[in-house]
Amino acid sequence: MERRPASGPLPPLSVAALAAALAAAAAGPGRLWTDIRVVAQTGSTNADVLGCAGQGAAEGLVVAAEAQTAGRGRRGRSWHSRPGAALTFSVLLRPALVPRAAWGWVPLLAGLAAATAVRAQAGVDARLKWPNDVMVGERKLAGILAEQAEDAIAVGIGLNVAGRDGDLPSPAATSLEACGVPGADRVGLLAEILRQLEHRYLRWQQAAGDPDGCGLREEYLGLCATVGRQVRVELPGGRQLAGTAVGVDQSGQLLVSPWGAVGAPGGMPAAVSAGDVVHVR
């Protein structure tokens, strides 16, 4: 990845530059990203993509924004960044070949694409926290939000590029700059995320959503920092589930082996869906 001096604003995104970077990054002709749009400011790129989906937009739409005024994460949490300091974009997917029971893999697939791109482009040891975070160590580099409307899914990704402590969305956040990558090339990084996402998504579609048939589950588990750890899952209504995260099932749910009173694993693993989880620690 091209690295620029940390001083001064990062160069703006542009459709022409992104199209050129995608063409250069692709191992073969691109098949998915047919409509790329860049806007200076919007409320939410996910809301924009869902609106376009409702008007019949085809799969492959990409909307990137320099700034969002109403960006959000899972369960309605707000997401903020300085204009031009992050990658904030959403894509439109219509996984018609995949049973809806397997659509829970979409945010996991997107997180895998983002983490893989960051590792390749920036040399940062990015890993995945189930269900929707890209982490560096214990700090959050990026978040993913997948929202469904009928046969369409809008997948939004917000990735912190510039900024250090005090400039970031929260004390628990980090950025590429804070990880020692100042002046990162946002165009090149976005193109690589889209390339990685296209590759995995098309493979997953061709396998009719089977995460083993397309190798997705193996790849995800290889980068998932949650699996193998003791976790406490906060559920709606104040309920909690404590245990060891032991895997991810066919639908993308986290499998948690509960712990007994004396600290030994007990019972069959419980499957926890992203929609039911308030937080995983």
* Structural domain boundaries in the chain: 15-223, 230-280
pLDDT of residue 82: 72
Helix and strand totals (H; E) in the chain: 5, 12
pLDDT of residue 138: 92
Mean pLDDT of the chain: 87
Residue 144 CB coordination number (10 Å): 25
241: left (phi over 0), alpha (psi -120 to 50) or beta: beta
pLDDT of residue 240: 83
Fold classification of 230-280 is SH3 type barrels. (2.30.30)
pLDDT of residue 76: 52
136 phi, psi to nearest 5 deg: -125, 110
d(CA 184, CA 22): 17
Fold classification of 15-223 is BirA Bifunctional Protein; domain 2 (3.30.930)
Segment 183-192 shows an average pLDDT of 93
Segment 137-161 shows an average pLDDT of 95
E strands, 111-239, where? Answer: 127-129, 133-136, 139-149, 152-160, 230-234
d(CA 120, CA 123): 6
Given a contact cutoff of 8 angstroms between Cβ atoms, the answer to whether 202 and 32 are in contact is yes
d(CA 108, CA 126): 14
pLDDT of residue 279: 65
